[in-house]
Amino acid sequence: MSTLDTTSGSVPQTARLTSGLGPKSSSRAIKDRAATVVMWLAFLIAMVPLVWILATVVMKGGSLLLHADWWTHSQQGITNREEGGGAAHAIQGTLIQAAMTALIAVPIGVLTAVYLVEYGGGRFKRVVSFMVDILTGVPSIVAALFVYAVWITTLGFDRMAFAVCLALVLLMVPVVVRSTEEMLKLVPNELREASYALGVPKWKTITKVVLPTAFSGIVTGVLLGLARVMGETAPLLILAPYFRSISTNLFDGLMGTLPTMINAGRDNMAIEANSERVWASACTLIVLILVLNLLGRLISRFNKLDR
């Protein structure tokens, strides 16, 4: 920035614009250059940790992902010191829990957003909107403890993976509500009016015109929400501890997941076999979320052309 001062510092600036045509003013060119450089620097600085993390994770654990065993076997009967086994149990667990969470959270979130944008008015709408704001700020550990208090302490159920889903729902709903709300607000009012003017009732206008128009945006929001909850660890630790074998029953005891698999191995990072597994689990989690995002983009593109 100091280069700027030297050009304008000595000459007193008059409040008159140099007129019309002529060569580009040199001080403006320098400012332009400086701003460009600053923006590039900011961009690079923001990229550094991202690239660093990705590179570390891939270098230390990526190779395991190339073995078929990683995707098909669990850690049943394999100790921390041994090599071998896979993450199938954890991958399945993470996907099953994410699917169940989405199954509950998406309808609630989307319908709440539809209420807020299309129907709500007055005090009740403001209350709902405020609640969603509060929910957005709830830390995952609080959501987990809340579910623990209700599900286990009050209702007397056992710890099970489904309780994790309930906690994750609490975290995902506000994300879905807010993103869907934004997307619905972007749908021009003219489209709603065009539909009404054809004698289409309001609910059909919403389901057949408004929601399809906002579809790709809603999908993106859902995937962002999903990506957030798939990496959550606190609810898993509290409500469904790590399990080394394949277990697909949400309602029965333990279930392995990628975050808890990472957590379970973190104490023995000095052991080569174990630390590689931990890095590979992290890498798998990143890959899963990436695939999920790509899938979402694909779905939304396909949808736009099709209708």
Partner 1 sequence: MAKRIDVSDLNVYYGDFKAVEGVSMTVEPRSVTAFIGPSGCGKSTFLRTLNRMHEVIPGGRVEGKVMLDDQDLYAADVDPVGVRRTVGMVFQRPNPFPTMSIRDNVVAGLRLNGVKSKKALDEVAEKSLRGANLWNEVKDRLDKPGAGLSGGQQQRLCIARAIAVEPQVLLMDEPCSALDPISTLAIEDLINQLKETYTIVIVTHNMQQAARVSDRTAFFNLAETGKPGRLIEMDDTATIFNNPNEKATEDYISGRFG
Residues that bind partner 1 (CB under 8 A): 121, 188, 190-201, 204-205, 208-209, 212-213, 215, 303-304, 307
- Which one, 105 or 211, has the nearer CB to partner 1? 211
- Which one, 117 or 166, has the nearer CB to partner 1? 117
- Which one, 20 or 121, has the nearer CB to partner 1? 121
Q: How far is the CB of 47 from partner 1 (least distance, A)?
A: 35
- Which one, 195 or 281, has the nearer CB to partner 1? 195
Q: How far is the CB of 124 from partner 1 (least distance, A)?
A: 15
Backbone φ/ψ region at 201: left (φ over 0), alpha (ψ -120 to 50), beta:
beta
Amino acid at 149: A
Q: How far is the CB of 59 from partner 1 (least distance, A)?
A: 44
Q: How far is the CB of 172 from partner 1 (least distance, A)?
A: 26
- Which one, 96 or 211, has the nearer CB to partner 1? 211
Q: Which tokens sit at 264?
A: 């379970």
- Which one, 16 or 307, has the nearer CB to partner 1? 307
Backbone φ and ψ for 15, nearest 5 degrees, come out as: -85, 45
- Which one, 87 or 116, has the nearer CB to partner 1? 116
- Which one, 36 or 207, has the nearer CB to partner 1? 207
Q: How far apart are CA 290 and CA 145, in angstroms?
A: 29
Backbone φ/ψ region at 80: left (φ over 0), alpha (ψ -120 to 50), beta:
alpha
Q: How far apart are CA 285 and CA 116, in angstroms?
A: 34
Q: How far is the CB of 188 from partner 1 (least distance, A)?
A: 7
Contact 190, 247 (CB under 8 A): no
Q: How far apart are CA 86 and CA 34, in angstroms?
A: 51
Q: How far is the CB of 123 from partner 1 (least distance, A)?
A: 15
Amino acid at 38: V
Q: How far is the CB of 219 from partner 1 (least distance, A)?
A: 13
Q: How far is the CB of 65 from partner 1 (least distance, A)?
A: 38
The stretches of the chain forming alpha helices (DSSP H) are 2-9, 26-61, 68-72, 88-114, 122-136, 140-147, 161-186, 189-197, 202-204, 211-230, 234-239, 258-265, 272-306
All residues at 6 or more sequence positions from 208 whose CB lies less than 8 Å from its CB, including other chains: 195, 200
Q: Which tokens sit at 293?
A: 């995002």
Q: Which tokens sit at 37?
A: 């450089």
